[in-house]
Amino acid sequence: MKYDLLHLAPLVALAHLLGMLAACHAILHTRTSQGAVAWAVSLVAMPYLTLVPYLFLGRSRFTGYDDVPHAGRETLRWQQHQDEWSAHTSTFGQPAADLGHSLVRSLTRLAGMPFLSGNSVRTLVNGEATFSAIFEAIAEARRYIIVQFFIVRDDALGAMLKDALLARAAEGVRVYFLYDSIGSFDLPHSYIAALRAGGVETHPFSTRRFVNRFQLNFRNHRKIVVVDGKRGFVGGLNVGVEYLGAKPPLSPWRDTHIEVRGPAVAAIQVIFSEDWHWATRQQLSFEPSAPDDVSGPMHCLVMASGPADQQETGSLFLVEAISAARERIWLTTPYLVPDEAVFAALRLAVLRGVDVRILIPCRRDHRVVFEASKLYAFDSVCAGVRIFRYQPGFLHQKVILIDSVAAAIGSANLDNRSLRLNFEIMVLTVDRHFAAEVETMLLHDFSQALEINSDEYRKAPGWRRMAMHLARLFAPLL
């Protein structure tokens, strides 16, 4: 026994030494002070339990991505839609009149892209409408198709996508397929091999440097499909039968995608091109598309965010959107774990007399996130925010409605992972007719939801309240 203890002591000392070194690393490299404190304390106090999780989840700054495509970013924009990349043609005009010049200026600078006019956008409610439109567009492709998803399953829907892409590739259409290596971890090699054998250029999005190889952070959560530069699809749906509502107990699945036509499609292509550049070290070149007959009067801003951003793009975008609201700000999100800046903006909006509503699920797909969301919902209700739980099934859509003027739809959730750790994309549309369409959609969702009050927390058993508080300690990672 004494012999064993003598051998155990150096291991304990080594674990604490490594824990202190890891804590120093966390203090230097974690994006938020809350995250830095959480990691540092746990690594020093419990290195045996936290060293391995820190190896996988600790890093919140992503190096390398910005260095590779940055030099070609302006070139990509200039090549793909030369006339529209001038801020003078898009910063002033209808968006500024509706939202305010200062907000438009800040958002264009934050996004690194202008508001582009001459677009049409339509909502695609739930999986059947979304994938019917995507497959229709793919079938009509003549020049190229780009496809990017966080999750791709090898199930009935995944097989349909694979067959559709292979059919167009066989006709000489260029097809580019990008998937996240962690989100699609169970995608079999045979699926990828079949695509590559059929002429589809297929690559995973994954971290490349050795220090990042063990990371579960920095996932590419974007969902993008573009066909011939004319039709672009962005939203919350991945590729799998569960997104069609085929997997209880979460079904029916509630989600929203949008189809974009017009110059904003080129901006969506730029985001995909940057991701492709990181994954493959290849620069894509798309010839300009002919004007689309169905383009419309809408102004759109494509807002891409991620852990490589110099600023907190995701959080700042939400804060600006909430701060712009004068009448209402309605949000839908599957995960309610806002950072302090966003939560402060929501509270201030309530104090301004703004109708602040958030629609969240009543069913859970991630236990820890769901418990943390309950506590944030309680804090929000106490601050005057109206919280609704969607009843029919799992709510996964990511939608923001600002007054009767603007709406944003895309892939970003209202949690720290989307705000700081994942690559996301949102499309902000400034158009009163489209905002009215989104309002009608959300009113229907709210009609199927139950508004909660503080009793959800106060009347919960003591062990459940403790679970909520413990879950919130992990908020920087959720």
Tell me the pLDDT tens digit for each residue of 432-449.
Answer: 999 999 999 999 999 999
Give the predicted TM-score (pTM) of the model. 0.85
Strand partners, 395: 254
> Catalytic residue at 403?
yes
* Predicted confidence (pLDDT) at residue 77 exceeds the cutoff of 70: no
Residue 208 lies in domain:
67-96+116-298
Could you tell me the sign of the dihedral formed by the alpha carbons of 289, 290, 294, 297, in that order? Answer: positive
Which CATH number does the domain housing residue 442 bear?
3.30.870.10
Confidence of residue 302 (pLDDT cuts 50, 70, 90): very high
Same domain, 410 and 440: yes
- Evaluate whether residue 71 is within a structural domain: yes
Same domain, 270 and 132: yes
Same domain, 339 and 236: no
Same domain, 34 and 142: no
> Catalytic residue at 444?
no
> Catalytic residue at 398?
yes
| Rounded Cα–Cα distance for residues 15 and 21 (Å) | 10
- Evaluate whether residue 307 is within a structural domain: no
| Rounded Cα–Cα distance for residues 333 and 140 (Å) | 33
> Catalytic residue at 396?
yes
- Evaluate whether residue 111 is within a structural domain: no
* Predicted confidence (pLDDT) at residue 180 exceeds the cutoff of 60: yes
DSSP-based three-state secondary structure for 392: coil
Token digits for 136? 């229709």
Same domain, 228 and 167: yes
Strand partners, 313: none
* Predicted confidence (pLDDT) at residue 56 exceeds the cutoff of 70: no
| Amino acid at residue number 84 | E
> Catalytic residue at 257?
no
> Catalytic residue at 16?
no
* Predicted confidence (pLDDT) at residue 283 exceeds the cutoff of 90: no
Active-site residue (options: 81, 162, 203, 221): 221
- Evaluate whether residue 102 is within a structural domain: no
Same domain, 336 and 451: yes
| Rounded Cα–Cα distance for residues 422 and 205 (Å) | 12
| Rounded Cα–Cα distance for residues 117 and 178 (Å) | 28
Cis peptide before 95 (omega within 30 of 0): no
- Evaluate whether residue 35 is within a structural domain: yes
Single residue among 298, 321, 339 that ends a domain in this structure: 298
Same domain, 317 and 453: yes
Active-site residue (options: 203, 223, 230, 299): 223
Same domain, 285 and 360: no
Single residue among 248, 273, 298 that ends a domain in this structure: 298
Active-site residue (options: 98, 228, 255, 379): 228
Same domain, 368 and 289: no
Highest mean pLDDT among 51-65, 111-125, 342-356 belongs to 342-356
- Evaluate whether residue 109 is within a structural domain: no
Active-site residue (options: 81, 277, 299, 398): 398
Active-site residue (options: 396, 415, 431, 445): 396
- Evaluate whether residue 62 is within a structural domain: no
Same domain, 442 and 466: yes
Structurally, the chain folds into a number of domains equal to: 3
- Evaluate whether residue 468 is within a structural domain: yes
Same domain, 47 and 162: no
CB 247 within 8 A of CB 287: no
Same domain, 394 and 245: no
Q: 19 versus 303: which is more confidently predicted?
A: 303
How are the residues of the chain apportioned to helix, strand and coil, as percentages rounded to the nearest 5?
Answer: 50, 20, 30
